A and B are shown apart, each in its own frame.
Chain A
């Protein structure tokens, strides 16, 4: 047994020696370390405000609220006991919090609630931007009112390209028709579509 092992080892050494000499050559290596850091494509709702029309007295049972959820990707509004001729403006600020430009190319509004109410619910969408100053210094945000809407229609855009740090304001004027005679509640959900393109 020991003899066989010895013969095997000798053969192994011989084979390795032969292979080594077959590959004998000089070579030298240069290295290139490549690091690719990818950017972050990320828009989010930053804040919102709801402006009710002051043309008529609000019933005491009326209540409105909103919240931004899903890490800024979705806005949910709840409107309780809305009434005929109800009007409000929902304004949402969207900010590019990523590191690459993004095109805001769609605003999606979904409503849930009383079907009679929903059938008379109307809204429009106006997107303003890009804005690179603080919202508190933007008249589109600070001076937003029902009277101000008519001045905005000429500057609304279908697509807005937002560089990192820039903002867009989404203005959604909403109304309930006169034909709706009850008082009921509805919820709305607002999301947005964006792509890494400019």
Chain B
């Protein structure tokens, strides 16, 4: 009985299936939109050139003395001495091995009150979107001080006694836009940044004082909103 019923039902089922397929048969075509969002890269680094006024690499490189605070014009107020006592070293490091120099180690050896040195370096946009030189953060070991659009003198206490031990003078390239390579006409990919360091009277003798500078760059279109 069951076998006969199955033999009847199967052709009926096949007929129904064929009918249904015919009912859905039509032409259609799909258009596709593949969306790929490939983000750019904000990347900058030191170029390989660092210029140091009183480099340790040269023997008998007589020192410079800031007999008083130099003004913003640069070397005014600085005199060259007749002895080579202190010196300055600068070394670039690629700490994350991404082919960019991201760290600059500066060492002043055998400094003394009014020892003066000048360090000049270049920063370049190595990424794919424009950036602006945003801010300077100075970490003296206990505090972080943030400066925007810094120019002129910054005094830093490195011993925690409330008296500044070193003074720095900064140039005026904060806020400058650096464009990716190749930069558009009248734009630049690299900028020159320099600062002076003078050891002050309250720096202790026979000590090693360290501090950390962080230079931040920000995507160009967010600069204005993030500068106080």
B15-23, B39-47, B143-151, B182-190: which lies at the interface: B39-47
Q: A27-B134, A100-B85, A101-B83 are in contact. Are A37 and B108 (CB under 8 A)?
A: yes
Residue contacts A-B, CB under 8 angstroms, 20 given: A25-B226, A26-B129, A27-B218, A30-B45, A32-B213, A33-B105, A34-B106, A34-B212, A34-B213, A35-B105, A35-B108, A36-B208, A36-B210, A38-B110, A38-B204, A38-B206, A38-B209, A39-B85, A100-B110, A101-B85
Give complex CA distance A189, B182 in Å.
75
Chain B interface residue count, CB cutoff 8 Å, equals 51
Question: Given the complex, which residues of A lie within 8 Å of B158, measured CB to CB?
Answer: 36
Is the Cβ of A26 less than 8 Å from the Cβ of B42?
Answer: yes
A31 beta carbon closer than 8 Å to chain B:
yes
Give complex CA distance A41, B217 in Å.
41
Q: What 8 pairs between A and B have smallest CB-CB spacing?
A: A25-B222, A32-B213, A40-B206, A26-B42, A39-B110, A32-B104, A30-B215, A27-B218
Contact with A along B85-109 (1 / 0, CB 8 A): 1100000000100000011111111
Within the complex, what minimum Cβ distance (angstroms) separates A191 from chain B? 19
A138 beta carbon closer than 8 Å to chain B:
no
Chain A interface residue count, CB cutoff 8 Å, equals 23
Within the complex, what minimum Cβ distance (angstroms) separates A41 from chain B? 6
Is the Cβ of A27 less than 8 Å from the Cβ of B42?
Answer: yes
CB-CB contacts below 8 Å: B146-166 with A: 158, 165-166
Q: A34-B213, A100-B110, A198-B81 are in contact. Are A28 and B104 (CB under 8 A)?
A: no
Give complex CA distance A35, B111 in Å.
10
Instruction: Give the contacting residue for A100; candidates B45, B112, B129, B208; CB below 8 A.
Output: B112
Is the Cβ of B211 less than 8 Å from the Cβ of A34?
Answer: yes
Give complex CA distance A35, B42 in Å.
29
Give complex CA distance A34, B106 in Å.
5
Is the Cβ of A38 less than 8 Å from the Cβ of B123?
Answer: no
Question: Given the complex, which residues of A lie within 8 Å of B83, measured CB to CB?
Answer: 101, 163, 198
A29 beta carbon closer than 8 Å to chain B:
yes
Instruction: Give the contacting residue for A31; candidates B166, B199, B213; CB below 8 A.
Output: B213
Contact with B along A84-113 (1 / 0, CB 8 A): 000000000000000111000000000000
A196 beta carbon closer than 8 Å to chain B:
yes
Measured CB to CB, the residues of A under 8 A from B are: 25-41, 99-101, 163, 196, 198
* Majority-rule SS of B interface residues: strand
Question: Given the complex, which residues of A lie within 8 Å of B129, measured CB to CB?
Answer: 26
Give complex CA distance A125, B219 in Å.
70
Q: A30-B44, A34-B210, A34-B211 are in contact. Are A40 and B205 (CB under 8 A)?
A: yes
Interface centre among B107, B134, B206, B217 (most CB of A within 10 A): B206
Is the Cβ of A38 less than 8 Å from the Cβ of B112?
Answer: yes
Is the Cβ of A36 less than 8 Å from the Cβ of B102?
Answer: no
Is the Cβ of B103 less than 8 Å from the Cβ of A33?
Answer: yes
Question: Given the complex, which residues of A lie within 8 Å of B197, measured CB to CB?
Answer: 34, 36
B214 beta carbon closer than 8 Å to chain A:
yes
Contact with A along B112-132 (1 / 0, CB 8 A): 110000000001000001010
Question: Given the complex, which residues of B lie within 8 Å of A25, measured CB to CB?
Answer: 218-219, 222, 226
Question: Given the complex, which residues of A lie within 8 Å of B82, measured CB to CB?
Answer: 198
Closest to A30 in B: B215
Q: A25-B226, A27-B216, A41-B112 are in contact. Are A35 and B45 (CB under 8 A)?
A: no
Question: Given the complex, which residues of B lie within 8 Å of A28, measured CB to CB?
Answer: 42-44, 131, 216-217
Q: A30-B215, A163-B83 are in contact. Are A37 and B106 (CB under 8 A)?
A: no
